[in-house]
Amino acid sequence: MRVGLTAVVAAVTACVPMRRHAVGTRCASGACEPSSPSPITTAITSTTTITSTSASSTLDPRALPARHLEPRPARDQASTALTALAMQAPASAALALTGARDGRAPLAFALDLHERLTGDHLDAVDGPALVEAARLRDRIVDASAIGAGDLLVFDRAVDGAPASLVAVALAVDDRGVVTMMFLAAGVIRVGAVCPAHPSQRRDPAGRILNTFLRHRDDPIPPGTRFLAGELLGAVIRAR
């Protein structure tokens, strides 16, 4: 079968670090390990049609780019993979960035990627300032109207702070599940958020709806929310 964007993203998000999942350690489910490249990476960067019923069964992980072995960029240095991305490239092209390192703050990465995909330049010192500026310009939209290139602002994702993580929407599938890209712990990652079902991890068929976003080892009080849909605080429309 042909592996489309949704199938690729579902496989990639299965390897996105889960709650309190430190980079370089095995995830809570034991199903993946960030320090080893995912066999799905080839599917992201290739147009090859995979005929097997299992994508991983036809791909040799040893032949994949070892992004985890690439030199760490200097502080405030952009990923070389991102700087090579053409301006106003299709959102699907951004998937090739998955796993690359970026030395900047997550907000700086998100605003850069947003501009490269949409041509829309935004600037802000932090997440709350970004949301306030967007509100004043009437650019906050309902989560049901998310489109490619929009900025997704999450509350309490890092250190329990408001607007502490900003992601870029890449695609929306027929279930309303949004594929998004963000920077966490210096690594470019892909995740999913489903505003219609914010508290569900997977749908009845087992496909990803929301990925875990909290990624700090701070104390976890009762009732803490972890899923992307539960933490989504604002959507900023791309011009």
Q: Please report whether residue 19 resides in a domain.
A: no
Phi, psi (rounded to 5 degrees) for 69:
-95, -5
Domain membership of residue 140 (yes or no) is yes
Instruction: Indicate whether 170 belongs to any domain.
Output: yes
Query: What's the average model confidence in pLDDT over 135-158?
Result: 94
Is the predicted pLDDT of residue 2 greater than 50, yes or no? no
pLDDT value of residue 158: 84
Answer whether residue 28 is part of any domain: no
Q: Could you write out the DSSP letters of every residue in 137-149?
A: TT-EE-GGG--TT
**Weakest mean pLDDT among 64-78, 79-93, 154-168, 216-230:** 216-230
Cβ 19 vs Cβ 226: under 8 Å: yes
Region of residue 28 (left: phi > 0; alpha: psi -120 to 50; beta: else): alpha
- Asked, for residue 56, whether it belongs to a domain, the answer is no
The token pair that represents 112 in the structure block: 């850069």
Are the beta carbons of 23 and 17 closer than 8 angstroms? Answer: yes
Q: pLDDT per residue over 61-92, tens digit each? A: 566 566 666 778 888 899 988 999 989 889 98
CA distance 152 to 198: 14
Cα torsion 156, 226, 205, 95 to 10°: value is: 50
Number of domains in the chain: 1
AA letter at 232: L
Pairwise CA distance, residues 146 & 132, whole Å: 19
| Tokens 């408001």, residue located | 162
Residue 15 lies in a domain: no
Confidence class for position 165, pLDDT limits 50, 70, 90: very high
Nearest Cα neighbor of 106 from 185, 18, 180, 178 is: 185
The three-class DSSP label of residue 182 is strand
C-alpha closest to that of 105 among 84, 81, 124, 80? 124
The distance of Cα 61 from the centroid of its chain, to the nearest Å, equals 22
Cβ neighbours of 33 (radius 10 Å) = 14
Residue 10 lies in a domain: no
What range defines the domain where residue 217 resides? Answer: 72-236
111-126 tens-digit pLDDT = 999 999 999 999 999 9
For residue 150, tell me if it sits in a domain. yes
What pLDDT band is residue 136 in, cutting at 50, 70 and 90?
very high
pLDDT reported for residue 115: 95
Instruction: Give the pLDDT mean for 144-173.
Output: 92
Average pLDDT, the chain: 77
Tell me the whole-structure pTM to 2 decimals.
0.71
